[in-house]
């Protein structure tokens, strides 16, 4: 059996590795995201994709078509910058907020009354 001391050393080492891995991941993320999220519209949809909001909710909030949001979700999942929500099947969650890596998020436009989201 391992001693408490040995387990604490292993835990400390894993925490150290985790910090460096996260740092490398953040650097890589901040480099590849601008090549994937090409428009302000896409950045807004990405930021709102928190695993809780549905494509319909994002569409209603932004005026971006629901089918466009779901197409973005497929693209982001394939590129590895988003994953399916663990809580809500069929919804996507960004891996990290754009602001956390220093990428500005455009202001979400106010939808004009009577405007349609259908595509």
Residues near 66 by beta carbon (within 8 Å), at least 6 away in sequence:
55, 56, 58, 59, 117, 118, 119
The answer to whether residue 2 sits within a structural domain is no
Residue 42, domain member (yes or no): yes
- 18 occurs within a structural domain: no
Q: What is the pLDDT of residue 105?
A: 87
Task: Say yes or no to pLDDT of 31 above 90.
Answer: no
Note the pLDDT of residue 61: 93
What residues make up the domain containing 83?
A: 31-101
Going by the DSSP 8-state scheme, the letter that residue 111 receives in this structure is: P
The CATH number given to whatever domain includes residue 94 is 1.10.10
Evaluate whether residue 110 is within a structural domain. no
Residue 21 lies in a domain: no
Number of residues in the chain: 119
Q: What's the average model confidence in pLDDT over 67-96?
A: 95
Number of folded domains that form the chain? 1
In a domain, 84, yes or no: yes
CA dist list (Å): 27 to 20, 30, 32, 54, 75: 11, 5, 9, 29, 21
Asked if the structure places residue 15 within a domain, the reply is no
Task: Give the mean model confidence (pLDDT) for residues 64-87.
Answer: 96
Angle CA(85)–CA(45)–CA(89) in degrees, nearest 5?
A: 20
Please indicate, yes or no, if residue 53 is contained in any of the structural domains. yes
pTM of the shown model: 0.76
């Amino acid at each position: 059996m391992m001693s408490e001391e040995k387990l604490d050393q292993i835990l400390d080492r894993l925490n150290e590795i985790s910090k460096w891995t996260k740092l490398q991941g953040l650097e890589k993320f901040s480099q590849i995201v601008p090549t994937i999220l090409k428009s302000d519209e896409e950045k807004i949809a990405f930021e709102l994709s928190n695993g809780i909001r549905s494509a319909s909710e994002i569409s209603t909030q932004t005026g971006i078509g629901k089918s466009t949001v779901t197409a973005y979700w497929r693209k982001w999942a394939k590129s590895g910058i988003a994953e399916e929500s663990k809580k809500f099947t069929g919804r996507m969650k960004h891996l990290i907020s754009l602001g956390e890596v220093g990428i500005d998020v455009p202001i979400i436009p106010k939808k004009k009354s009577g405007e349609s989201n259908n595509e």
